């Protein structure tokens, strides 16, 4: 044990982090050896990001000592930490939307070398090298804001690679990546390890976690509950440690025989995004739409809810045409949409949980121009209870909830409107295993009540666990339609990548 501490690149002892009222980390010991890949696992809110923030100097620890490269660091900030060789790929990427790809990649490196003047040629060189290393082609002069999410994530990864890092920390680096890019990332991690660079890897995708890491550390409620070589764990046992219970996935039950067509989409086309999208959705059916990066799935999902105006094509719900390109019309036709990025698109973070749910049902509780507050509170509380949202107080701001609970609040808003069709874009992105299974249960339950559900996802197990049918998209077109109950994960992965 003590020798562990002696050789460690990162050596945290008895770290406690308290935010007024919350203990995010509770006396955690944590070491990383040079060249070691450590996996940090835990449910939402278990303290993973907090631990990373302490190592990278973004937040100070309340108690405990931090040693980096053998030196005690009583005072740490991002600059010192970076100078010591710690690079982080943050959960939210932390990029500069207004700057070019090249500058985004090179900025941290240039800061760490105490560069005073800005040289654009050197900047491009640094960026080019980093991109070459993972073999991606991105326009160096493009502004980051114009890139799709997945490319943004790649830029964030390149930024970490660009510097002479001793340790690269990846906080859920794969959420926006498709299988193919995840494979490439895993390759990079192996390469880094060979070069003696240590890696801390946080992910909710348990299979990929186990594949690349040597050591696994599991956090629960801010405490370290398990630690050991990766070979000692499998998905099952990891889940058990994270949640403290077993979470089995059940496959979806059959669609009711003779179910009627609920939604009909005909030749939906949008220049440059998707073309000729046609499909039917039956009552009680869960339809998956999947595809690689840039395949157009998000655009299709948004088009169904009127957020993207298609150039051609039509949508009908229960036989009635729905005007396209108008979210209000879609919502009137009882289509619901839970967006991909709940922090910026889905929720009003500073507002109360109650208001976040109620916003969808204000008109129904208005009489004589005024709101019936009691009715509103009752209804919202009821939905929060039905979705098992763990909240101390419905008046608390929604930002005080963990990711999984936030996602349920977003769901509650739409469910309270009794939708006929619910479009779920990445329903469990960044949600922990326990909550994920719960959300899948909710999806199956809703379908059994006759709601038509469209799940957009690239999480294959998720698709298999919830969908009756799966549409595969490539280059903006539907190229395959699979039976969700008979297809296997390998088969699906193969069709996606081919």
Residue 196 has which token pair?
């003696």
Can you tell me which of 191, 373, 418, 493 binds another protein, judged by CB under 8 A?
Answer: 373
Q: 3-class SS at 233?
A: coil
Which positions from 150 through 169 interact with ligand ATP, judged by CB under 6 A?
Answer: 150
Should residue 95 be labelled a site residue for another protein when binding is judged by CB under 8 A? yes
Q: How many CB atoms lie within 10 A of CB 395?
A: 11
Which positions from 2 through 41 interact with ligand ATP, judged by CB under 6 A?
Answer: 19, 22, 24
Which positions from 84 through 103 interact with Mg ion, judged by CB under 5 A?
Answer: 91
Should residue 98 be labelled a site residue for another protein when binding is judged by CB under 8 A? yes
- Phi and psi of 467, rounded to 5°? -95, 140
Which positions from 26 through 55 interact with another protein, judged by CB under 8 A?
Answer: 45
Residue 313 or 484 having the CB closest to another protein: 313
Q: 3-class SS at 86?
A: strand
Question: Which residue, chain included where needed, has tokens 């509780």?
Answer: 365
Residue 148's binding partner out of another protein, Mg ion, ligand ATP, none, with CB under 5 to 8 Å set by partner kind: ligand ATP
Residue 418's binding partner out of ligand ATP, Mg ion, another protein, none, with CB under 5 to 8 Å set by partner kind: none
d(CA 50, CA 103): 27
**Are β-strands 215-220 and 198-202 bridged in parallel, bridged antiparallel, or unpaired?**
unpaired
Nearest approach in angstroms of CB 277 to another protein is 14
Which positions from 217 through 276 interact with another protein, judged by CB under 8 A?
Answer: 221, 270, 273
Nearest Cα residue to 312 out of 273, 267, 365: 267
Q: 3-class SS at 75?
A: coil
Q: How many CB atoms lie within 10 A of CB 304?
A: 28
Choose the binding region for another protein from 200-208, 283-291, 387-395, 452-460 (rule: CB under 8 A): 387-395
Nearest approach in angstroms of CB 433 to Mg ion is 14
Which positions from 379 through 438 interact with ligand ATP, judged by CB under 6 A?
Answer: 402-403, 432
Nearest approach in angstroms of CB 257 to ligand ATP is 33
Can you tell me which of 49, 243, 299, 352 binds Mg ion, judged by CB under 5 A?
Answer: 49
Choose the binding region for another protein from 109-117, 196-204, 257-265, 444-452 (rule: CB under 8 A): 109-117
Can you tell me which of 159, 224, 241, 297 binds ligand ATP, judged by CB under 6 A?
Answer: 297
Residue 413 or 468 having the CB closest to another protein: 413
Choose the binding region for another protein from 32-40, 110-118, 259-267, 377-385 (rule: CB under 8 A): 110-118
Full strand arrangement of the beta sheet holding 452-456? 335-338, 421-425, 452-456, 286-291, 469-474, 477-483
Nearest approach in angstroms of CB 49 to another protein is 12
Can you tell me which of 10, 31, 32, 42 binds ligand ATP, judged by CB under 6 A?
Answer: 42
Which positions from 118 through 157 interact with another protein, judged by CB under 8 A?
Answer: 118
Q: What is the DSSP string of 331-395?
A: HHTTEEEE-S-IIIII--TTSBHHHHHHGGGTGGGEETTEE-HHHHHHHHHHHHHHTT---S-TT
What Cα–Cα distance (Å) separates residue 372 from each residue in 86, 223, 375? Answer: 54, 44, 6
Beta-bridge mates of residue 472 = 290, 480
Should residue 496 be labelled a site residue for another protein when binding is judged by CB under 8 A? no
Can you tell me which of 191, 278, 348, 448 binds another protein, judged by CB under 8 A?
Answer: 348
Is the dihedral angle over the CA atoms 484, 486, 492, 495 positive or is it negative? negative
Residue 95's binding partner out of Mg ion, another protein, ligand ATP, none, with CB under 5 to 8 Å set by partner kind: another protein
Nearest approach in angstroms of CB 185 to ligand ATP is 15
First to last CA, the chain: 47
d(CA 207, CA 301): 27
Interaction pattern, residues 62-91, with another protein; x per rule: CB under 8 A: ---------------xxx-xx-----x-x-
The region, left, alpha or beta by phi > 0 then psi within -120 to 50, assigned to residue 182 is: alpha
Should residue 293 be labelled a site residue for another protein when binding is judged by CB under 8 A? no
Contact by Cβ (8 Å): 213, 16: no
Judged by the rule CB under 6 A, the positions of this chain that interact with ligand ATP are: 19, 22, 24, 42, 44-50, 91, 148-150, 272-273, 291, 293-299, 402-403, 432
Judged by the rule CB under 5 A, the positions of this chain that interact with Mg ion are: 49, 91
């Amino acid at each position: 044990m003590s020798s562990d501490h002696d050789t460690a690149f990162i050596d945290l002892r008895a770290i406690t982090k308290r935010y007024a009222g919350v203990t995010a980390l509770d006396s955690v010991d944590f070491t990383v050896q040079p060249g070691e890949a450590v996996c940090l696992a835990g449910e939402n809110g278990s303290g993973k990001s907090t631990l990373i923030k302490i190592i990278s100097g973004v937040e100070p620890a309340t108690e405990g000592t931090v040693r980096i490269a053998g030196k005690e660091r009583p005072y740490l900030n991002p600059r010192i930490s970076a100078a010591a060789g710690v690079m982080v790929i943050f959960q939210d990427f932390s990029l500069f939307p207004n700057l070019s790809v090249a500058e985004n990649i090179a900025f941290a490196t240039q800061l760490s070398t105490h560069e005073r003047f800005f040289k654009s040629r050197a900047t491009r060189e640094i960026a080019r090298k980093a991109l070459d290393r993972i073999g991606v082609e991105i326009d160096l002069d493009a502004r980051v804001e114009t890139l799709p999410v997945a490319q943004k994530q790649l830029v964030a990864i390149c930024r970490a690679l660009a510097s002479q890092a001793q340790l690269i920390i990846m906080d859920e680096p794969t959420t926006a990546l498709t299988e193919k890019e995840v494979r490439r990332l895993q390759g990079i991690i192996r390469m880094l390890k060979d070069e003696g660079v240590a890696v801390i890897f946080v992910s909710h995708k348990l299979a990929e976690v186990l594949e690349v890491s040597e050591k696994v550390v599991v956090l629960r409620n801010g405490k370290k509950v398990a630690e050991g070589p990766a070979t000692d764990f499998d998905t099952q046992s990891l889940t058990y440690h994270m949640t403290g219970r077993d979470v089995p996935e059940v496959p979806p039950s059959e669609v009711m025989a003779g179910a009627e067509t609920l939604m009909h989409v005909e030749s939906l086309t949008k220049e440059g995004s998707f073309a000729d999208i046609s499909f039917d959705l039956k009552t009680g059916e869960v339809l998956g739409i999947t595809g690689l990066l840039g395949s157009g799935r998000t655009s299709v999902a948004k088009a169904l809810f009127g957020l993207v105006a298609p150039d051609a094509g039509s949508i009908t719900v229960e036989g009635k045409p729905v005007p396209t390109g108008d979210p209000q019309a879609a919502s009137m036709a009882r289509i619901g949409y839970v967006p991909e990025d709940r922090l910026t698109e889905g929720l009003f973070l500073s507002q109360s949980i109650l208001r976040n749910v109620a916003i969808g049902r204000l008109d129904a509780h208005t009489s004589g121009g005024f709101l019936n507050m009691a009715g509103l509170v009752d209804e919202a509380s009821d939905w929060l209870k039905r979705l098992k949202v763990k909240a101390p107080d419905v008046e608390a701001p929604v930002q005080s909830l963990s990711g999984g609970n936030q996602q349920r609040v977003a769901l509650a808003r739409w469910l309270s409107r009794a939708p006929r069709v619910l479009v779920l874009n990445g329903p469990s992105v960044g949600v922990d295993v326990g909550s994920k299974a719960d959300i899948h249960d909710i999806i199956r339950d809703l379908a059994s009540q006759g709601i038509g559900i469209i799940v957009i996802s690239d999480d294959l197990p998720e698709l298999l666990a919830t969908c009756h049918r799966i549409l595969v998209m490539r280059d903006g077109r539907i190229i395959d339609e699979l039976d969700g109950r008979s297809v296997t994960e390998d088969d699906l992965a193969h069709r996606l990548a081919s």
